[in-house]
Amino acid sequence: MSVNILVVDDSSVVRKMIVKMLHLAGLPIAEVYEAGNGLEGLSILNEYWVDVVFADINMPIMNGEEMIERIRQNPLWADLPLVVVSTEGSETRVNHLRAMKARFIHKPFAPETIRSVVTEMLGLCHEQPAT
């Protein structure tokens, strides 16, 4: 099974870093879509099939929390796997995100972390990437 991934972050550098980590993690990736804010992210979700969303919190136009709230309000996306990738260290904010069924990956992170989270969320088998 190959997965389609959406990366939502206002920094093109961070989007590149996440895509690099996804490839290093050896995940079976089909398509990677990128968006610069929550509104663009929702637009891509409306247009393409996405298996997992990686999102930042602080973004212009529409931040990550609002995007996640809107995703969860849509019955089609109620169970869409969401991963927030952030330096956020506040338990208050992290718990709010978890309450919306979002997983949280704290930066900096290793490829193994991203692999573990995605395989668990999608129920993929834990095959080691080819070396």
Partner 1 sequence: MNNRPHSQTVSLVAVETIEKLALMFLVPEEEMSDGATQAQRAVSVAFTGVWQGVLFLSADNGILPELAANMLGYDDASQVPPEEQDDALRELANVMCGNLLPAIAGPKPVFHISAPQVVPEGRFPEVFCGSPPSGAARLCVDSGVIEVRLFIGEPVAVNAG
CA dist 64 and 1 (Å) reads 28
43 contributes a contact to partner 1 by CB under 8 A: no
Of 30, 43, 69, 107, the one binding partner 1 by CB under 8 A: 107
61 contributes a contact to partner 1 by CB under 8 A: no
CA dist 103 and 51 (Å) reads 14
Tokens of 73: 């309000």
Half-sphere exposure of 120 (CA within 13 A, CB side): 9
Amino acid at 65: E
In degrees, rounded to 5, the angle at the alpha carbon of residue 97 between the alpha carbons of residues 86 and 24 is: 40
14 contributes a contact to partner 1 by CB under 8 A: yes
124 contributes a contact to partner 1 by CB under 8 A: no
Listed ranges 28-36, 40-48, 86-94, 122-130: which one lies at the site for partner 1 (CB under 8 A): 86-94
16 contributes a contact to partner 1 by CB under 8 A: yes
87 contributes a contact to partner 1 by CB under 8 A: yes
CA dist 77 and 92 (Å) reads 24
Listed ranges 30-38, 45-53, 72-80, 82-90: which one lies at the site for partner 1 (CB under 8 A): 82-90
Residues that bind partner 1 (CB under 8 A): 11-14, 16-17, 19-20, 23, 58, 86-93, 106-110
